[in-house]
Amino acid sequence: MVGIATLQANSNATLEATITAISAVRQVNSMRGPSQVADATIKDTTGTITLTLWGADATKFQVGQKLKITDGWVKEYKGKLQISMGRSGRIEVVP
């Protein structure tokens, strides 16, 4: 696993981090049709990053939960890095 500070755009990453904030869920029209999306701020010992949560994941998690993101997709959006599940990523709560 890597730390948030070492993430690079256009790459996959596996990491553990804690949710420190979650935005309100909003409805969007994506290329795949209507969906829900929310942005969570996650933090580890090296830094913070925005985690974009799509579909059912937008309402599944809460502030304070520790997550393990496996094979998440890191990209740059409006000059900042963010991570999402991409095509093959998984997200789970770490007890």
Question: What integer pLDDT is reported at residue 71 of this predicted model?
Answer: 96
Q: What pTM was computed for the model?
A: 0.91
User: Considering only CA atoms, which of 1, 12, 10 is closest in space to residue 88?
Assistant: 12
What the block records as the tokens of 53 is: 């949560």
Sign of the alpha-carbon dihedral angle for 66, 67, 68, 69: negative
DSSP letter at 55 equals G
Tens digit of each residue's pLDDT, the chain (95 residues): 789 999 999 999 999 999 999 999 999 987 778 999 999 999 999 999 999 999 999 999 999 999 999 999 999 999 999 999 988 899 999 98
CATH: 3.40.630.10, 1.10.260.40, 2.40.50.140, 3.10.20.30. Which one for 4-93? Answer: 2.40.50.140
DSSP letter at 5 equals G
Backbone angles phi and psi of 59, in degrees to 5: -120, 10
